[in-house]
Amino acid sequence: MSSEPLQSIVVETTPFDDQKPGTSGLRKKVKVFMQKNYTENFVQCIFDALGCKLKGSTLIVGGDGRYFSKPAINTIIRIASANEVSKLIIGQLGIFSTPAVSALIRQHKVLGGIVLTASHNPGGIRNDFGIKYNIENGGPAPDQISNSIYELTKKITQYKTTPTLETDRLIDILGTSKFNVNGRDFTVEIIDSTKNYVALMKEIFDFHKLRALIRGTDSRPPFSILIDSMNGVTGVYVRNIFVEELGASPDNNVRRVVPLDNFGEIHPDPNLTYAKDLVDALQENASYDFGAAFDGDGDRNMILGKNAFFVTPSDSLAVLANNLECIPYFKKNGVHGFARSMPTAAAVDRVAAKLGKEMFEVPTGWKYFGNLMDAGRLSLCGEESFGTGSDHIREKDGIWAVLAWLSVIEHKKMGVEEILKEHWKLYGRNYFTRYDYEECETEGANLLIENLEKLLTEGTLVGKSYTAQGKSYKVAKADNFSYVDPIDNSVAQNQGIRILFEDGSRLIYRLSGTGSSGATIRVYIECYEKEDVLTDAQVMLKPLVEIGLEISQLKKFTQREEPTVIT
């Protein structure tokens, strides 16, 4: 507690030319953020972009606890106090998962939140940090706000701060501190990182049934799960929800649940490559019925069945869409439309068609779902990049996805693989794979895209047939995806090159918007089979992969023989 009057000051600064937010905020190496005034400039520009709404506002602040979070939060506290923010609600030790921030913004009806994370990118002093702004609906800032933040970063000349505001250990202890800055009240409230979020999950799901599933009943053996937090922020939520509430064993059912500021030197991204540890654990121990992993900030998820049977995120979305009625939240609120990002396989489209629901295809990035949810036209959505979520918040939600899957399993009394096979039998299967070429030379990656764009303008692709391994595909349409938001008519252009074949197969090329160095090229490959639903996806998609590499001349432009990651 301190009531002694404090005065803010104005500090002269000069712009940095690299503060353009990517798909999800500004992500850079920790060293970059550590430069004098770098973090200060960006935070001031967020505040300036909010204009007159900022005065007297409340903001939520927290993140995945990665290295540099504490100094960044202290900077935010001081700059906020000097910019007439009236209150900050901060997670204890700076810890909030991204979904928890989204939930808090909505529950407290505040102006927005600042999330300190670089999501699935590695952390620690040599790795990445990030700052992302979320708006009052709880979702990531739309392009228009990110663009105005960026414009401001290019011409910033000063920032305001209160250097005498004592932040030492401020975020370590629960409670409220009041300050007097320039004669105004400024409040910092440190809250429990998990409480609100856990309460929300209890409203959405039937915890009683989920506990019975995990613990077993007289008529049903325990369903054995292995939940891997990959040393990220979900650890605290997993211990609370799965162990304390649902009765999972702290020794056998959860792993890597202590958040570490460098994620234990791993790449906290839940896919078959970076969560290989979990895959191995399920393959080695056939008594596990289910596995799941999350990324650093808890919005991504990967679902595995017995023996590490892999569920693609695109299939995960379709299965959930097909079974939402077993979740109390949807029973109560009804199921409106479904949506997926453009590169996500179209399995959910088939469910939407069968159930007579509206279906939307948006650009990559969770922010594009927000308007549809706010308008009451979207209940469930997902992305191939291991994101699944619903309109309970405005971010994707890893723990929510696992609880949703367990609800479906409990309801259907079937295992993961059985559920998938039943689904494919009914709908056919959208085979999908993604090839990532990480940290390529930026120049080569740009040339690859430019070359594809040239093919589009020349108009030579459409009508052309390509053959590989005895399979032929004829191009029906090729374009660079653009999207008009049906709610506010805003336009997003150049969202990925699409080559669509006559039989519905697709090849998509994009540059990642979430990396912090070099360029990552993503190639998305999809085909649909009505009858042949049990072939290995890599085998089924081999011919299309070859065609995709041929059309893009990827090896020539990148000098890469193999992708870094296949999902």
Active site residues: 119
- Residue 297 binds which entry of ligand G6P, Zn ion, none, CB below 5-8 Å type-dependent: Zn ion
Q: How far is the CB of 147 from ligand G6P (least distance, A)?
A: 17
Query: Judged by CB, which is closer to ligand G6P: 95, or 115?
Result: 115
Stretch that binds ligand G6P, among 107-115, 382-390, 543-551, 555-563 (CB under 6 A): 382-390
Q: Is 513 in the site for ligand G6P (CB under 6 A)?
A: yes
Q: What residue is closest to Zn ion based on CB?
A: 119
Query: Judged by CB, which is closer to ligand G6P: 213, or 275?
Result: 275
Report the residue from 312, 316, 407, 512 that binds ligand G6P according to the rule CB under 6 A. 512
Q: How far is the CB of 395 from ligand G6P (least distance, A)?
A: 8
Query: Judged by CB, which is closer to ligand G6P: 97, or 514?
Result: 514
Q: How far is the CB of 309 from Zn ion (least distance, A)?
A: 24
- Residue 364 binds which entry of Zn ion, ligand G6P, none, CB below 5-8 Å type-dependent: ligand G6P
Asked if 533 and 315 touch (Cβ cutoff 8 Å), the reply is: no
Q: Which two tokens stand for residue 479?
A: 């374009």
- Residue 24 binds which entry of Zn ion, ligand G6P, none, CB below 5-8 Å type-dependent: ligand G6P
Report how far residue 189's alpha carbon sits from residue 178's, in angstroms, rounded to the nearest whole number.
9
Of 196, 397, 191, 228, which is closest to residue 297 (Cα–Cα)? Answer: 397
Q: Is 365 in the site for ligand G6P (CB under 6 A)?
A: yes
Asked if 351 and 318 touch (Cβ cutoff 8 Å), the reply is: yes
- Residue 205 binds which entry of ligand G6P, Zn ion, none, CB below 5-8 Å type-dependent: none
Report how far residue 131's alpha carbon sits from residue 274's, in angstroms, rounded to the nearest whole number.
23
Q: What residue is closest to ligand G6P based on CB?
A: 512
Stretch that binds ligand G6P, among 2-10, 141-149, 379-387, 492-500 (CB under 6 A): 379-387
Residues 222-241 that bind ligand G6P (CB under 6 A): none
Q: Is 146 in the site for ligand G6P (CB under 6 A)?
A: no
Q: How far is the CB of 482 from ligand G6P (least distance, A)?
A: 17
Q: How far is the CB of 387 from ligand G6P (least distance, A)?
A: 5
Asked if 114 and 133 touch (Cβ cutoff 8 Å), the reply is: yes
- For residue 1, CA distances in Å to 77, 174, 187 come to 15, 12, 10
Query: Judged by CB, which is closer to Zn ion: 119, or 229?
Result: 119
Q: Which two tokens stand for residue 232?
A: 């990220």
Residues 515-554 that bind ligand G6P (CB under 6 A): 522
Q: How far is the CB of 146 from ligand G6P (least distance, A)?
A: 13
Query: Residue 174 contacts by C-beta under 8 Å, 6 or more apart in sequence?
Result: 92, 190, 191, 192
CA dihedral 123, 129, 134, 140 (to 10 degrees): -70
CA dihedral 523, 529, 532, 537 (to 10 degrees): 10
Query: Judged by CB, which is closer to Zn ion: 119, or 193?
Result: 119
Report how far residue 212's alpha carbon sits from residue 196's, in angstroms, rounded to the nearest whole number.
23
Q: Which two tokens stand for residue 71?
A: 């100094």
Q: How many residues does the chain have?
A: 567
List interacting residues with Zn ion (CB under 5 A).
119, 295, 297, 299-300
b/e code 246-258 from CB counts within 10 Å (16+ = b):
bbbeeeebbbbbe
Binding mask 85-124 for ligand G6P (x = CB under 6 A): ----------------------------------x-----
Query: Residue 403 contacts by C-beta under 8 Å, 6 or more apart in sequence?
Result: 201, 204, 205, 210, 241
Q: How far is the CB of 342 from Zn ion (least distance, A)?
A: 19
Neighbouring-strand partners of residue 116: 63, 131
Query: Judged by CB, which is closer to Zn ion: 92, or 117?
Result: 117
Alpha-carbon radius of gyration of the chain: 24
Q: Which two tokens stand for residue 485?
A: 């938001």
* Backbone phi, psi, residue 127, to 5°: -115, -145
Query: With CB under 6 A, what is the number of residues at the site for ligand G6P?
Result: 14
Query: Judged by CB, which is closer to ligand G6P: 84, or 436?
Result: 436
Q: Is 434 in the site for ligand G6P (CB under 6 A)?
A: no
Report the residue from 495, 514, 558, 567 that binds ligand G6P according to the rule CB under 6 A. 514
Asked if 196 and 107 touch (Cβ cutoff 8 Å), the reply is: yes
Report how far residue 281's alpha carbon sits from residue 279's, in angstroms, rounded to the nearest whole number.
5
Asked if 505 and 396 touch (Cβ cutoff 8 Å), the reply is: no
Stretch that binds ligand G6P, among 225-233, 240-248, 304-312, 509-517 (CB under 6 A): 509-517
Of 254, 248, 239, which is closest to residue 216 (Cα–Cα)? Answer: 248
Stretch that binds ligand G6P, among 144-152, 273-281, 372-380, 508-516 (CB under 6 A): 508-516
DSSP 254-273: EES-S--TTGGGS----STT
Q: Is 383 in the site for ligand G6P (CB under 6 A)?
A: yes
Q: How far is the CB of 293 from ligand G6P (least distance, A)?
A: 15
- Residue 512 binds which entry of ligand G6P, Zn ion, none, CB below 5-8 Å type-dependent: ligand G6P
Query: Judged by CB, which is closer to ligand G6P: 48, or 436?
Result: 436
Return the ∠ at Cα 14 (arms to 9 and 20), rounded to 5°. 110
Asked if 84 and 180 touch (Cβ cutoff 8 Å), the reply is: no
Q: Which two tokens stand for residue 11?
A: 């500090």
In three-state secondary structure terms, 367 is: helix
Q: How far is the CB of 384 from ligand G6P (least distance, A)?
A: 8
Query: Judged by CB, which is closer to ligand G6P: 194, or 495?
Result: 495
* Residue 565 CB-density burial (10 A; 0-12 exposed, 13-18 middle, 19+ buried): middle
Q: Is 390 in the site for ligand G6P (CB under 6 A)?
A: no
Q: Is 24 in the site for ligand G6P (CB under 6 A)?
A: yes
Q: How far is the CB of 520 from ligand G6P (least distance, A)?
A: 6
Q: Which residues bind ligand G6P (CB under 6 A)?
A: 23-24, 119, 341, 364-366, 383, 385, 387, 512-514, 522
